[in-house]
Amino acid sequence: MRNVRIIGAAITKFGKHNDRNLKSLAAEAVTGALRDAGISKDRLQGAWVGNAAQGLLDGQEMIRGQVVLHPMGITGIPVFNIENACASSASAFNDAWARVALGEIDVALVLGMEKMYYEDKAKSLKVFTAGMDIEILAEFVRSAKEAEVKMAGERAARGEAEKEKTGGRSIFMDVYAMAARNHMSTYGTTQRQLAAISSKNHFHSSMNPLAQHQKKWSIEEVMNDVEVAFPLTRAMCAPIGDGAAALVICSDEFTLKNGSSHKVDIAATVMASGETTLEGAEEPMTRLARKAYERAGIGPEDVSLAEVHDATAFGELSNTEALMFCPKGEGGPFAEAGNTRLGGKIPVNVSGGLECQGHPVGATGARQVVELFMHLTGRAGERQVTGAKVGLAQNGGGTIGNSEAALSIIILKR
């Protein structure tokens, strides 16, 4: 297997782009990545395009990558369309890496893209139900509603005033809320600790001009925001939006011939599918993390910064535990103590994460890797992690059993 490097990367601003189509967003990201790599489009030998929802939202199926790349004049090369829930572009990255590592090609384009925002919010939210087993969806919705009614009764009995609630939410907010409540009852995690994670990410995003949300929120403001599903408030949850992210990866031989000024090695890229695990058993994400660390020749203590899948603040908490940045059950206190803040022990989601950068699902995996690349090449601006040498991106998509359906970990080294 050959060593593979990233030599160029770019993303669009994430947000609600009512005046733009997917071709426009993809073109901006791809053009930016090629410019950053210092190569022309005719040098590309293959393209891997991650997208999750356009078939459901717009009806564009089968050739989504070819549709967006053709107007840019990127034709003739093989184009692979990858759909794997929120891990679509992380999966595209993994596939492209393998093709270069095996020596079949020397340089590849990885593109993640999604156009998810519509005035009709119900249209966007409906997409998320496709990331679950639809045959058991109705049973889950019923259980979630019963739990919500029971919890509302318990809170009323304690004399707690009912909070204002959001109108609509994706089914995954209920998945995260139920997992968060279980963690709270098992380990004593508090809503304030979740709010501390969210407040930290809003602080990080205030330094990210490409983030969908760039406003600072205090812990109290996060806790007092509109409730989505207890213990999650709106500020703790990723917004729906649009965006694209692109990377150029290549072999060492190609790098030497082309003299690229920005180079970061891909130390590990590993994937797995989810499963049902028994209580007390090691989580699939932790097993995958062990594999990634072994392949990269590092341990969790060597990671300079991490971008983790925080569709909610609880997602970040559980993933910092699964990645072994802290012991199981201690994710709340670990974050509350400032360990995951810029300048802390292990800065997590310095981009603002999905909660603030935004989560156009097919673009997220690639976007996380772009963020790491910028830090490892010293170009992250105000939010730069000083002396960053190792970056980790953790991405998960969909739900199967009691874990994410698609799991990905990517480790980069300067």
Residue 139 pLDDT level (bands cut at 50, 70, 90): confident
Number of domains forming the structure of the chain:
1
Q: Are 310 and 396 in contact (CB under 8 A)?
A: no
How far apart are the C-alpha atoms of 194 and 333, rounded to whole Å?
Answer: 10
- Token pair listed for 94: 């993994």
Neighbours of 282 (CB within 10 A): 12
Residue 153 is predicted with a pLDDT of 77
Residue with tokens 């070819």: 66
Residue 7, SS3 per DSSP: strand
Please report where in the chains the tokens 């082309």 appear, as a residue. 258
Pick the residue with more confidence: 369 or 140? 369
Percent of the chain whose predicted confidence (pLDDT) is above 90: 82
Average pLDDT, integer, range 17-23: 96
Q: Is residue 225 part of a domain?
A: no
Q: If you search the block for the tokens 């995260």, which residue do you land on?
A: 176
Question: Is the separation of the CB atoms in 47 and 74 below 8 Å?
Answer: yes
Residue-wise pLDDT tens digits, 285-303: 999 999 999 999 999 999 9
pTM (predicted TM-score): 0.95
**168 domain-assigned:** no
Asked whether residue 218 is assigned to any structural domain, the reply reads no
Lowest mean pLDDT among 173-177, 311-315, 321-325: 173-177
Type of residue at 303: V
- 202 is annotated as an active-site residue: no
Task: Report if residue 113 sits inside a domain.
Answer: yes
5 closest CA partner among 260, 312, 283, 263: 263
Residue 262 annotated among the catalytic residues of the structure:
no
**Is the pLDDT confidence value at 212 over 90?**
yes
In a domain, 46, yes or no: yes
Within-domain flag for 44: yes
Residue 74 lies in a domain: yes
Mean pLDDT, rounded, of the chain: 94
- Inform me whether the pLDDT recorded for 165 exceeds 80: no
Q: Which of 17, 86, 202, 309 is catalytic?
A: 86
Q: What is the mean pLDDT of residues 45-51?
A: 98
Tell me the pLDDT tens digit for each residue of 346-356.
Answer: 999 999 999 99
Query: What single letter denotes the amino acid at residue 125?
Result: L
What does the alpha-carbon distance between residue 65 and residue 86 come to, in Å, rounded to a whole number? 17
Predicted pLDDT of residue 167:
61
Domain of residue 44 covers: 4-119+240-258
21: domain CATH number is 3.40.47.10
Which residue among 204, 213, 359, 375 is the active-site one? 359
For residues 155 and 191, the answer to whether their CB atoms sit within 8 Å is no
